[in-house]
Amino acid sequence: MAVFDEVSPASVEQAAASFEGAGLVVCDGNLQPATLEQVLKQSAALSAPAWFEPVSVAKAQRGRCSLPWHLVSPNYDELMALLGRASEAAALPAQGWEAMVRKALDEAASVGLAEHVLLTMGPLGAVLSCTSGGEAPLPAGGRDMVFDPAALLRRVGGAPKGVPPLVVRAERFQAVRGCHLWYRLRQPLASVRDVTGAGDALVAGAAR
């Protein structure tokens, strides 16, 4: 990843014209802190939303900048690092995880980490937290959405065959401020071969 070190604050400043009219600027934790800070400043000056993907717990702390991100996409351990509490990172329990997540997301909102946090939680799903806005227009019990992976991957070479439809439940998740939405599979997958790139794919889909 040494190539990322070649992206310096000066090189970002030289590319300022590229930020004009940008619909989205995405950075990851392989960039140096000073470079991330420069990206945020230029993005804010041009009203371009900037996202931060932490990559790992060790590199997540690089995303602690002077300005808020438009969105950060950590898992729970990475979120703890972004909050300066990496030592408190722990696996989320299958039962009782809600209080841990709510506390972390509310703290992220209070310290101005980002306008939105897309928290990935493995088999527990993901929570999208927004610091502003009212309650999401969802029924009290949530709403089911059906996705057809086979149709989405039809044009992708080498895509697996016979992937069944996925039913995702979206429901409100209590927040002190703003709004939290919890997304989860209605029926857990029978087997998982490899999760490499799952978080990156989620960020790419959200950006799309």
> CA nearest 173: which of 109, 105, 108, 84?
105
Q: Which domain holds residue 152?
A: 2-207
79-96 pLDDT per residue, tens: 999 999 988 888 899 888
Q: CA 175, CA 105: separation in Å to the nearest integer?
A: 8
pLDDT of residue 134: 63
Low-confidence residues of the chain: pLDDT under 70: 133-136
How is residue 58 written in tokens?
A: 């060790």
pLDDT of residue 163: 80
Q: What is the CATH number of the domain that holds 143?
A: 3.40.1190
pLDDT of residue 174: 80
How is residue 118 written in tokens?
A: 């897309």
pLDDT of residue 182: 94
pLDDT of residue 151: 85
Phi, psi of 49 (to 5 degrees): -65, 135
Number of domains the chain contains: 1
Q: What is the pTM of this model?
A: 0.90
b/e map of 13-43 (b: 16 or more CB within 10 Å)?
A: eeeeeebeeeeebbbbbbbbeebbbbbbbbb
pLDDT of residue 156: 81
pLDDT of residue 190: 80
pLDDT of residue 152: 81
> CA nearest 57: which of 29, 92, 32?
29
pLDDT of residue 59: 96
Q: CA 51, CA 41: separation in Å to the nearest integer?
A: 13
